[in-house]
């Protein structure tokens, strides 16, 4: 397997992928101020801070309002400054180290707004991570159908300088074992590489089957990050 070679600046950007995306590739979507930003609530729950200062936490609380927000940080946040922790999980960040050719021959389609009900139904059933009615606006989402039924899907989520995240990789239980996940992931990898960018992704750290699949496709583990879901405390 090839070695992961990144600059110190690239490592720093990937350590805080949400902030990096909201200040580079997705800055046009960013809501917020100098120290805290978030995606629109209908697109994604992700938010981020520029640092761990009181000012940043105050701005994040204002952005959260009544919504749930999710942050991704190098280490678990200690004092969440009046916000309540709803969920905390370790996620493995993996980066593709080389080009691959698309695997498999299943027909792949680009998904659009007409497919949103089917995308929401599939993600609700398989739970690949946050996916909302407007999430597909973040990038290109593709799928494999069986007739009118959406059997599998995957897409592009966070975009930061030089990197695009692959996300929402999910296969309906009736279609597992057919190679659909690797087909979709390798098609996306090829497209991302074609733009001169590097694919990366996040996976729950104990999802050993998914990690093994991504390793076979040329991803290597870069870091374990903390995924924390926050909401304003009742007392706020």
User: Where do the domains of the chain lie, and which CATH numbers do they carry?
Assistant: 8-90+226-232 (3.40.630.30), 94-222 (3.40.630.30)
CB atoms inside a 10 Å sphere around CB 90: 12
Residue 201 is predicted with a pLDDT of 98
Is the four-CA dihedral 67, 165, 150, 89 of positive or negative sign? negative
Residue 78 is predicted with a pLDDT of 83
Residue 150 is predicted with a pLDDT of 98
Contact partners, residue 205, CB within 8 Å, separation at least 6? 89, 90, 91, 92, 224
Computed over every residue of the chain, the mean pLDDT equals 94
Q: What are phi and psi of 103, to 5 degrees?
A: -100, 140
Residue 236 is predicted with a pLDDT of 42
Residue 173 DSSP label:
G
Residue 234 is predicted with a pLDDT of 52
Task: Quickly list DSSP for 189-215.
Answer: HHHHHHTT-EEEEEEETT-HHHHHHHH
Q: Which residue has the tokens 């990038």?
A: 139
Q: Which of 171, 160, 131 is nearest to 42 (CA)?
A: 131
Distance CA 98, CA 234 (A): 48
pLDDT means per 10 residues, the chain with 236 residues, are: 84 97 97 94 95 92 88 90 89 93 95 97 95 96 97 98 97 97 97 96 95 96 96 63
- Digit-coded pLDDT (tens) for 50-90: 999 999 999 999 998 878 999 999 999 888 887 889 999 99
Residue 59 is predicted with a pLDDT of 93
Measured in whole angstroms, how far is the alpha carbon of residue 186 from the centre of its chain?
Answer: 16
What sections of 5-158 are H helices per DSSP? 8-15, 17-23, 54-64, 116-126
Residue 2 is predicted with a pLDDT of 65
pTM recorded for the entire structure: 0.94
Contact partners, residue 68, CB within 8 Å, separation at least 6? 45, 86, 229, 230, 231
Contact partners, residue 209, CB within 8 Å, separation at least 6? none
Burial string for 157-180 (b: 16+ CB within 10 Å, else e) reads: bbbbebbbbbbbbbbbeebeebbb
């Amino acid at each position: 397997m090839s070695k992961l070679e990144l600059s110190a600046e690239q490592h720093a950007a990937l350590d805080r992928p949400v902030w990096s995306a909201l200040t580079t590739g997705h800055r046009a979507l960013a809501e917020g101020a100098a120290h805290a930003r978030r995606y629109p609530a209908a697109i994604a729950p992700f938010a981020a801070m520029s640092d761990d200062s009181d000012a940043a936490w105050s701005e994040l609380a204002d952005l959260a309002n009544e919504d749930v927000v999710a942050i991704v940080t190098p280490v678990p946040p200690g004092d969440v400054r009046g916000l309540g922790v709803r969920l905390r999980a370790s996620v493995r960040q993996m980066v593709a180290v080389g080009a691959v050719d698309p695997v498999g021959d299943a027909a792949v389609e680009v998904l659009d707004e007409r497919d949103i009900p089917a995308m929401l139904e599939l993600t609700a059933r398989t739970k690949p991570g946050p996916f909302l009615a407007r999430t597909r606006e973040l990038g290109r989402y593709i799928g494999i159908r069986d007739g009118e039924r959406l059997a599998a899907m995957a897409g592009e989520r966070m975009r930061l300088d030089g990197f695009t995240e692959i996300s929402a990789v999910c296969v309906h239980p009736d279609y597992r074992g057919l190679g659909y996940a690797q087909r979709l992931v390798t098609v996306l990898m090829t497209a991302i590489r074609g733009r001169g960018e590097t694919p990366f992704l996040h996976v729950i750290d104990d999802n050993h089957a998914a990690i093994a699949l991504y390793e076979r496709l040329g991803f290597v583990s870069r870091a374990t990050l903390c995924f924390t879901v926050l909401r304003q405390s009742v007392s706020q």
